[in-house]
Amino acid sequence: MQNNRQFFALHWLFFCAITFPLVMGSVLFAQQNNNQNNQNNQNQNQNNQNNRNDDPNRGGIAIDTNGVLSRDVTLDVGQLNLRKINIARASYTLPRDISAKSLTRCISLNRMEKSIIEAGGAITNEMMYLAGLQRITHVFYFPESKDIVIAGPAEGWFPGYEGTMIGKESLQPVCELQHLITALRAYAPNKEGAGIVGCSIDPTAEGNVRLQQFQAQAGRLTRQQFADGVQKSLGMQVIQVDGIPATTHAAQMMVAADYRMKRIGLGMDTIRVQGLRMFINHTVQNDTNALFRWYFVPDYESVIMTEDRTGIQLVGDGVKLVGENELVSETTGERTVRSGILDPGTREFTRTFTQQYPQIAKQALVFAQLRNWVDMLICAAHIQREDFYGKSGWSMEFFGNEEKYPLETFVAPKEVEPVVGIRVIGTRTLTPVGGGIVIDAEQALDKEHAKSDTDKKIANTQAKIGLNLPENVWWWDVR
């Protein structure tokens, strides 16, 4: 990719048969205070707690004070007892209007910020969870009122599995303000786009060399001896976050999604999705220095834009998984691409993972959060590209200020000890290495993906929204 091109990427490296522990939060169905007024009166405290490192809503990762990841096992939504879900749902109440299911709920970003400023910086429960938005499917700019509006399906929510707020009917995570503002800061007014946004979990070059040397000299070892030797050779893996602060919740969510994908591919985590084929079950004998890379990329059928580019709609599932093979140098540990060559395990895993992504996201909520995060980054890139900030005069006075709205409050993930998975094919023990997730937001907005709103559906939706609203209203439903 060209350096002078603005784009963002979610990118991280993972091991396939040599993998790391997925850290999942414990099942949490916390009973909250049912008094909505009390919730709103504790706005700032809730906001601060939402960003603490001990908050359970981390997509399943635990990080100690030194930045070292550890493992914690939980159940998937698909394995939870329906009775527990119903009890949790009934224990958490919201005002009737915001609990109602809506096909199109709208939020004016600048009106919401103004309401927060006028309230002295207090952020309500409705704001923290973006009025129950399940996904952001539209972005609009209204020149007359200078409102920047996001919209999408919405419903009421309650605290569910992994500590994540989930929809009362969908059981899918609602969009969160902290993620949206992290995305907007990455594409903030009066600055260049973030470029690459993402994270990597990388073996060191020295670790790669030690691994190649160990594999060449291993001889006849038991499976456990071989696994122990691989783990010792690799050493601690380094975690790096790019484009956004590593101390944000969004960064932790990306790392958690990375772990979960790797463990699923190895068959180390059980996902009850028919048709999903695990990498480890379909890989074949390869060179010992083969590296298999897996990438998440945007999977939108298209981005539909109005003629004046003041309205867009994201169409499609949002995320797909693709693969690429590399070789690791035995002497330097460096990686080179093997173009056009895909291991059968990679081919089957990436193909079926993409096909079943919506079903996987229903069970492992971190993938639904990842999909929402991709939506947010693409929407933020569009807002910046079309200069809705300048046209509206919105400087993100509150949202863009870390002192006023602190998001960088988590311990940054730094390293993790590898967990080794081994597969024996014939007389040979294989430890295939894999990795990677890349998303190019600008590509999703380029001509080949952006289509014109020829049937005027987006323009008609924009016309229906209407902004003849009371001054203090920042969210509303389109009937």
Residue 15: the pLDDT is: 36
Distance between CA atoms of 197 and 199, rounded to whole angstroms? 7
Residue 71: the pLDDT is: 59
Residue 218: the pLDDT is: 73
Residue 271: the pLDDT is: 85
Mean pLDDT value across the chain:
77
Q: Lowest mean pLDDT: which of 8-22, 33-47, 268-282, 380-394?
A: 8-22
Residue 312 structure tokens: 């867009």
Q: Lowest mean pLDDT: which of 186-190, 223-227, 338-342?
A: 338-342
Residue 144: the pLDDT is: 92
Residue 309: the pLDDT is: 93
For residue 68, the 8-state DSSP code is B
Residue 332: the pLDDT is: 55
Residue 193: the pLDDT is: 79
pLDDT at 432 over 50: no
Residue 401: the pLDDT is: 97
Domains of the chain by residue range: 18-477
Where does the pLDDT of residue 17 fall: very low under 50, low under 70, confident under 90, or very high at 90 and above? very low
DSSP conformation letters of 115-158: HHHHTTT---HHHHTGGGBS---EEEEETTTTEEEEEEEE--EE
Distance between CA atoms of 163 and 58, rounded to whole angstroms? 8
Where does the pLDDT of residue 422 fall: very low under 50, low under 70, confident under 90, or very high at 90 and above? low
Distance between CA atoms of 207 and 335, rounded to whole angstroms? 13
Burial classification of residue 72, based on how many CB atoms lie within 10 Å of its CB (0-12 exposed, 13-18 middle, 19 or more buried) = middle
pLDDT at 381 over 60: yes
Q: Lowest mean pLDDT: which of 164-168, 397-401, 407-411, 416-420?
A: 416-420
Where does the pLDDT of residue 40 fall: very low under 50, low under 70, confident under 90, or very high at 90 and above? very low
Distance between CA atoms of 250 and 146, rounded to whole angstroms? 28
Maximum distance among all Cα pairs of the chain, rounded to whole angstroms? 76
**Highest mean pLDDT, choosing among 274-278, 405-409, 454-458:** 405-409
pLDDT at 21 over 90: no
pLDDT at 259 over 80: no
Residue 80: the pLDDT is: 60
Q: Lowest mean pLDDT: which of 12-16, 231-235, 293-297?
A: 12-16
Where does the pLDDT of residue 421 fall: very low under 50, low under 70, confident under 90, or very high at 90 and above? low
Q: How far is CA 258 from CA 5, 130, 192, 298, 411, in A?
A: 26, 25, 27, 16, 18
Apex 7 CA angle, 59 and 254, nearest 5: 10
Would you give the distance in Å from CA 220 to the centre of its chain?
A: 42
Residue 36: the pLDDT is: 38
Distance between CA atoms of 280 and 264, rounded to whole angstroms? 9
Q: How far is CA 402 from CA 88, 225, 248, 333, in A?
A: 33, 49, 11, 39
Average pLDDT over residues 299-305: 79
Secondary structure of residue 52 in the 3-state scheme: coil
Residue 424: the pLDDT is: 63
Higher pLDDT pick, 69 / 205: 205
pLDDT at 410 over 90: yes
pLDDT at 191 over 60: yes
Residue 84: the pLDDT is: 79
Where does the pLDDT of residue 285 fall: very low under 50, low under 70, confident under 90, or very high at 90 and above? low
Higher pLDDT pick, 106 / 199: 106
Where does the pLDDT of residue 363 fall: very low under 50, low under 70, confident under 90, or very high at 90 and above? confident
- Strand residue runs (E) in 243-310: 290-305
Distance between CA atoms of 34 and 378, rounded to whole angstroms? 35
pLDDT at 366 over 70: yes
Q: How far is CA 13 from CA 203, 241, 324, 436, in A?
A: 8, 11, 12, 4
Residue 473: the pLDDT is: 94
Q: Lowest mean pLDDT: which of 79-93, 284-298, 408-422, 439-453?
A: 284-298
Residue 138 in contact with residue 109, Cβ under 8 Å?
Answer: no
Residue 142: the pLDDT is: 95
**Pairing mode of beta strands 311-328, 138-142:** antiparallel
Where does the pLDDT of residue 157 fall: very low under 50, low under 70, confident under 90, or very high at 90 and above? very high
Where does the pLDDT of residue 11 fall: very low under 50, low under 70, confident under 90, or very high at 90 and above? very low
pLDDT at 340 over 80: no
Average pLDDT over residues 109-136: 97
Residue 12 structure tokens: 């991280």
